[in-house]
Amino acid sequence: MAVTDEQVRDALRRVKYPGFSRDIVSFGLVKNVAVTDGSVTVQLALATNDAAVPRAIKADAESALRELSDVREAKVLIDIHAPPAGAGAAGAVATRIEGVKHVIAVASGKGGVGKSTVAANLAVALNQTEARVGLCDCDIYGPSIAMMFGSRDRPMATEENKIIPIEQYGLRLMSMGFLLDDTSPAILRGPMVTRYTQQFLRQVEWGELDYLVLDLPPGTGDIQLTIVQTVALSGAVIVTTPQEVALIDARKAATMFEKVNVPVLGLIENMSYFVSPDTGKRFDIFGSGGGEREAKRLRVPLLGQIPIDIATRESGDRGMPIVAEARESAVTAEFVRIASQLRAQLN
């Protein structure tokens, strides 16, 4: 039986773009497929200045095609051209979100480092500088922003089918947590997750914003790649803890942004230390100096060190970020200092 066009494309879906988990078909690189009497010719279009990338893709694609039964000859032709300004690694052009001056991604290489707590309090701190701020929870599977801001409101839609964000503490918010009940999981496959992410960014009526903070899910998967390839980011902030197991993954997150030409604005070391409320003694529970060493290695600023703080945890559980609830606390002062540094960099 002759091989079909769809079988060829399925085989090419096993070919990853170098350095990414995403395949060349989903990146839109496959422009034409021709099958004639057991001979398969595939035409790819690639925007890159790295000569090693097309060589790797060509070798991997031809190898994948030869594994198909009834294929006697496999040929991959690649049309290579220079990427346009602002293009991502695979040539997808990142564009601005209408009305938004700066988009800041808050990311981490692994879960459990307090990234959402940092994103929420950073957004509130930016808002307290009289900036117009939005916060988008891009973690579709594990949304937490709705709970951290204490809102159970459901988003409404305009006549133009634009989603109206929830407003709380002066911020405009969007999260899957506003659409689901507390016990309802988001059971979605990759393409649907990407679709929801794009809707949150492009179909929300954000209005005029100085800053839109994106709380990314941990890791370097499809959601992160979709965002960095399609949204013009002003920069990224990496959240980590001092311990080496977290720093290893922080490096991966930083490398991902470097590959797509998104500047890393700095590193935030969360859970940096604990000060006993009884004795005032400091305990470096997860080690010390890790964030500072990693910031030097990445050649980015260490924006701040956030301690393990009972009040910070309690305020998040109550639905009011510590920066909104306790303006005089030491943790609030650190977030305000971080926000000032980011404003200085971006402006």
Spatial distance between the Cα atoms of 261 and 155, rounded to a whole number of angstroms: 34
SS3 content of the chain, % helix, strand, coil (to 5): 35, 25, 40
pLDDT of 191 over the 80 cut = no
Q: Which domains does the chain have, with CATH numbers?
A: 5-81 (3.30.300.130), 100-346 (3.40.50.300)
With CA atoms as reference, report the closest residue to 29 among 85, 78, 88: 78
Count the residues in the chain.
Answer: 347
Percent of the chain with pLDDT over 90: 46
Confidence band of 91 (pLDDT split at 50, 70, 90): low
What is the predicted pLDDT for the residue at 182? Answer: 64
**Residues 6+ away with beta carbon under 8 Å from 219:** 109, 110, 111, 249, 253
pLDDT for residue 1: 61
Q: Worst-scoring range by mean pLDDT, 99-108, 119-128, 216-225, 296-305?
A: 216-225
pLDDT at 94: 66
pLDDT of residue 196 exceeding 90, the answer is no
pLDDT score of 157: 85
Overall pTM surpassing 0.75 (yes/no): no
Distance CA 110, CA 108 (A): 5
- Which is more confidently placed, 188 or 101? 101
Residue 62 has pLDDT above 80, yes or no: yes
Q: What is the pLDDT of residue 337?
A: 96
Q: How confident is the model at residue 180 (pLDDT cuts 50, 70, 90)?
A: confident
